Amino acid sequence: MISVLYCAHLVIAQILRETQREREMVTLVVATTTDPASINPAKALLAMPGWHPGPSFQEEENIKSFTNEGVRVLQHDNFIVNEDNLDLRWEQLTGESVHEIIFLSKHTAVSNRPALTVHPIGVPHLKEGDVPPQGGKPGWAALPNPRIGPWLRLLKNIAFSHNLVPEFEITLEGTHHGPLTNKPTMFIEIGSTEEYWKRQDAAQVIALLIWEGLGLGGGAAVGNWSGENDKNKVLLGIGGGHYAPRHMDIVLKDGVWVGHLLSGYSLPMEDPNLSRVETNSKEIGGTWKESIKASLEATKLAFPGGEIIAHLDHKSFKSWQKNAITGFLGEQNIKIGKPNDFY
């Protein structure tokens, strides 16, 4: 009898501990006062109901926080890519477990075209000794936030309903820049010039994306990954330009999940054999393999139970490059998919 009661007590205690851990899982939304495309969406979000002042970092009084259910908005005065490990620092400060981290930022582009963008972060193509131009560390890829795909689609719908489309392009970006994080991460950006960074209608759309996407308005959150349903295929984008147009065509369809997106510049390849079609992948120099490996491992960790499928922008590669990449993916046991393989 005592043994049965003791076992029951252990089971109840475990359930309570798990419930407590679930209750303490929080989302961090990070904004900086130095960037209007960052702080304006944060202000619009904080103007919505239910927010309360939260704890501040004792050693860094310039970092304020605001809480609403399981969401924490952090506001600081530094460059957005310079505040490393905010997830771990928050956990140490509060004892809460960070589930994910979402950064708000401006976007710049040579075209100056107005855009609302979403993307994973990391600099997996850089080698040791390189200095990342915008944060992170060489060879590192953050865990991509599973919400990236679902939120891109939600963002497009909200932007359309607020008459920002077609003026603003709604798009993914390739994996790039920091800061260092340890939990699933995404950037949401407004581009591409100061005129658009300060647009209040764009800020309001981003605020609504977070409000609805995290279920703060009472509806179901968008983009929660379980890995248990039938739609568990995750796109690992390889090749193409910074805005991933070939991958975008797939991701805009419902049910598609997005991992890392490696643009051509994130796949440095050195051809020692004058572009021979039959070049072996082991003969190709550069950090392209390391970049793919780091991005693949981060994507696997972010999507437990998911089926990671590589999608190649075939037209962006020369024959020797495509042969080397497909051979390497085969060595990693990663399937290469066509568009219909993701639906």
Would you state the pLDDT for residue 282? 67
Would you state the pLDDT for residue 50? 97
Q: Judge whether 117 and 171 are in contact, CB under 8 Å.
A: yes
**Paired tokens of 220:** 């179901």
Q: Judge whether 298 and 185 are in contact, CB under 8 Å.
A: no
Q: Which parts of the chain register pLDDT below 70?
A: 1-23, 58-61, 229-230, 272-282
Q: In 3-state terms, what secondary structure has residue 147?
A: coil
Q: How far apart are CA 42 and CA 64, in angstroms?
A: 12
- The DSSP secondary structure of 45-107, one letter per residue, reads HHTSTT-EE---BTTBTT-EEEEETTEEEEEESS-TTT-TTHHHHHHHHH-PEEEEEEEEEEE
- The DSSP secondary structure of 220-270, one letter per residue, reads --S----S-SS--EEEEEESS-TT-HHHHHHHTSTT-EEEEEE-GGGS--B
Would you state the pLDDT for residue 274? 53
Would you state the pLDDT for residue 11? 46
**Paired tokens of 231:** 């739609």
For 108, 118, 143, the CA distances from 267, given in Å and listed in that order, are: 22, 20, 19
Half-sphere CA count of 259, side-chain side, radius 13 A: 30
Taking the model in full, what pTM does it have? 0.90
Would you state the pLDDT for residue 91? 96
